[in-house]
Amino acid sequence: MVASGARGGVVLVPLAEGFEEIEAVVVIDVLRRAEIEVRVAGLVPGPVRGAHGITLATDCALDEVDAGALAMIVLPGGMPGTTNLKKDARILALVRALEGSGRFVAAICAAPTVLAEAGVLAGRRVTAYPSVRAQLTGAEVVDRPGVVRSGPVITSQGVGTALEFALELVAELAGPARARELRAALLVPESY
């Protein structure tokens, strides 16, 4: 049986057509290795095709997700996946609701622009893929480190930082000791 995160609840990874496959799969895989319950939801029912032609099955459609049960939402980047997430009022509402109640919102690559669209980045220290950083108005945008936490908002830069991002999510949800165990098991160096 898969346990909920230490903070209680489920992690939602919503997939939109054109998502970045590596970012999505790394997050889903690492969180599940940590025995954190992950729900992969498509914006519409059925499998979702990624930016590089890889199609992933989903656990459910977004409309089937119980927002009250969520501990975190994690948005993978990719194009046009990020644009599709940003255009979906349900995603924006979930981001606002989770952040507003102190639950985690996380985004990698271009997906921090979804957080900006939802209005949850003002005054926060964040990072993102270099080509979209200018769209994060109102935030303090940094290029290092590759993963940045500001309150309940966690952001990262892209495919090359996906493992570190996923391990940070594990540390937040299941504790630093569990993240260290997974880092060692996955052979991810401390200086990664």
What is the average pLDDT value for the chain, to the nearest integer? Answer: 94
| Residue 187 resides in a domain | no
CATH number for the domain harbouring residue 22: 3.40.50.880
Task: Copy the structure tokens of residue 177.
Answer: 């000791």
Q: Is the pLDDT of residue 49 over 60?
A: yes
Task: Give the total number of structural domains in the chain.
Answer: 1
CB 165 within 8 A of CB 30: no
Per-residue model confidence as pLDDT tens digits over 6-36: 456 899 999 999 999 999 999 999 999 999 9
Instruction: Note whether residue 171 is domain-resident.
Output: yes
| 185: in domain | no
Do the Cβ atoms of 106 and 73 come closer than 8 Å?
A: yes
pLDDT tens across 87-140, in order?
999 999 999 999 999 999 999 999 999 999 999 999 999 999 999 999 999 999
92-112: b or e for each residue (b if 16 or more CB lie within 10 Å)? Answer: bebbebbbeeebbbbbbbbbb
pLDDT band per the 50, 70, 90 thresholds, residue 5: very low
Residue 60 is among the residues annotated as catalytic for this protein: no
149 within some domain: yes
Range of the domain at 145: 10-176
Could you tell me the pTM of the whole model? Answer: 0.95
Give the active site residue among 109, 115, 170, 173.
Answer: 109
Q: Which pairing describes strands 153-156 and 147-150: parallel, antiparallel, or unpaired? A: antiparallel
Contact 183, 190 (CB under 8 A): yes
Q: What is the pLDDT of residues 60-77, one digit of tens each?
A: 999 999 999 999 999 999
